[in-house]
Amino acid sequence: MNWQKMPPGFLWGTATSAHQVEGGNIHNDWWDFEQDSKRSGAASDFRNRFESDLDLARDLGTNSFRLSLEWSRIEPKHGQRCPMAIDYYHQLIDACLDKDLQPFVTLQQFTLPRWCADKGGWLNQETLTAFNKHVSWVADQFGDRVSHFVTINEPNVQAGASYLAGVFPPGRRLRPDLADRCQAALIKAHAQAYRTIHNNLEKRFPGRSVELGVSPHIVSWKKSHWDLGGIFKRIGEQFNWGFLDALSSGTIKFQTYREVAPEIQGCFDFVGMNYFMGMPANILGVLKFMGLIPKSSGEQSSDNGWPQDAPGFEQALLRAHNDYHKPIYVTENGIADASDRRRSKYLTDHLEALSRASGAGVDIRGYFHWSLMDNFEWHEGLQPRFGLYEVDYDSQERRPRRSAELYKGLIQKYSESYSKVGDHEL
């Protein structure tokens, strides 16, 4: 086996997002969209437990923590910010730094303030203007302490789940035109945020360097006999790379939406990659991925039926490197596995793939496991368990799963400060 240590300064972390962990995010579109049996409610109560949860992250030996700022908590009404929320995020970011965890901050992960969503969400230009104002404010408030920002989490999922699968608000189905418009709007929102943050910080803190990127959801689409003419492979490729291709070339080329937009070109310092699974490139694979037909779980897949594919992860890293020539942060990777029977192999295989890609020359600078603890999994509710720590939602007690210890060991194995003692010691 050909593994190697990750370079000095590598960020090892766990990832979370506000609505999924904080609890009580009552001012966003998701709160209204959630169905009775699958409500986020108090989620993992991170809002009240972040100090001890960050201690758990530290116990893993991580040096970074991915969190998101909930725009609707900060600005529950248009133009009116909530001092308590602002105070909370200052405390949270300070707590990360006190505990030697570099905060890796996402600006938007799937939710919108109700006042934006009610007026058409990303399909309304006013949302872009308001988001840019918010982002500028974020730079002023936190830009002195945060060095890495993910602007938008999984714009490709957001557009597809909202306007094709209908499982995210506003719950529209089979509207490829709206999905494409939504993703085009997210590209512009991203590019604006990129420029705004860089410009603000250059003025306020000259010489301070921050990195901004975006995190699409990347699936390894496997060749299939049923993919006649390769159409599904092409759809899958566009799903994966369409956003980054647009930023690279300055041209948005979706099925139903084309635009030459020179202002977006080059607006990313790194590629964020959320990678979970491989899927056959055929109609069944696509429908399964969209959640429109049930997935089956088994030894080779997760509790929610996502097939494991570590070699596909390595390929995706190589491809992103070759196509974009930018540093890569793996911003999410993990498995829903309540019994923790499959997570160790998943983690071991994926970190080995990561290290192999790094050995092949891919500039990978960080890995964030999804997730620190169990949390609210959007339309699937609290059922899928992605945590290295199990959460008992009645008591909010956290218990480490066995994989937590394994991750800690793997971080040591792949870190520079750890001496190589053999291939299979973990």
In the complex, which residues of this chain contact ligand BGC (CB under 6 A)?
Answer: 17, 20, 153-154, 157, 217, 274, 332, 370, 377, 386
Dihedral in degrees, nearest 10, Cα atoms 386, 160, 250, 112: -70
| In the complex, least distance from residue 208 CB atom to ligand BGC, rounded to whole angstroms | 28
Give the residue with the Cβ less far from ligand BGC, 139 or 382.
Answer: 382
Q: 232 or 275, CB closer to ligand BGC? A: 275
- Please answer whether residues 384 and 20 qualify as being in contact, where contact means their C-beta atoms are separated by less than 8 angstroms: no
Residue pair 13/62 in contact by the 8 Å Cβ criterion:
yes
**Tokens 């890495």 — which residue?**
148
Which CB, 180 or 337, lies closer to ligand BGC? 337
Q: How far is the CB of 161 from ligand BGC (least distance, A)?
A: 9
Place of tokens 């248009």: 78
CB 129 → ligand BGC: shortest distance, Å? 25
Which residues face 344 on adjacent strands?
none
CA distance 258 to 41: 40
For residues 247 and 266, give the distance between their C-alpha atoms in angstroms, rounded to a whole number. Answer: 6
Count of other CB atoms within 10 angstroms of residue 413:
21
Smallest distance, ligand BGC to C-beta of residue 32, A? 18
Residue of this chain nearest to ligand BGC (CB atom): 154
Phi and psi at 259, nearest 5°, equal -160, 135
- Residues classed as catalytic: 154
- Rounded to a whole number of angstroms, the minimum distance from the CB of residue 189 to ligand BGC is 17
Whether 281 and 232 have beta carbons less than 8 Å apart is answered as yes
Map residue 413 onto helix, strand or coil: helix
Cβ proximity to ligand BGC: between 20 and 248 the closer is 20
User: CA-to-CA distance for 406 and 426, rounded, in angstroms?
Assistant: 8
Beta bridge partners of 369: 14
Q: Which is nearer to ligand BGC, 227 or 340 (CB)?
A: 340
Which amino acid does the sequence have at 209?
S
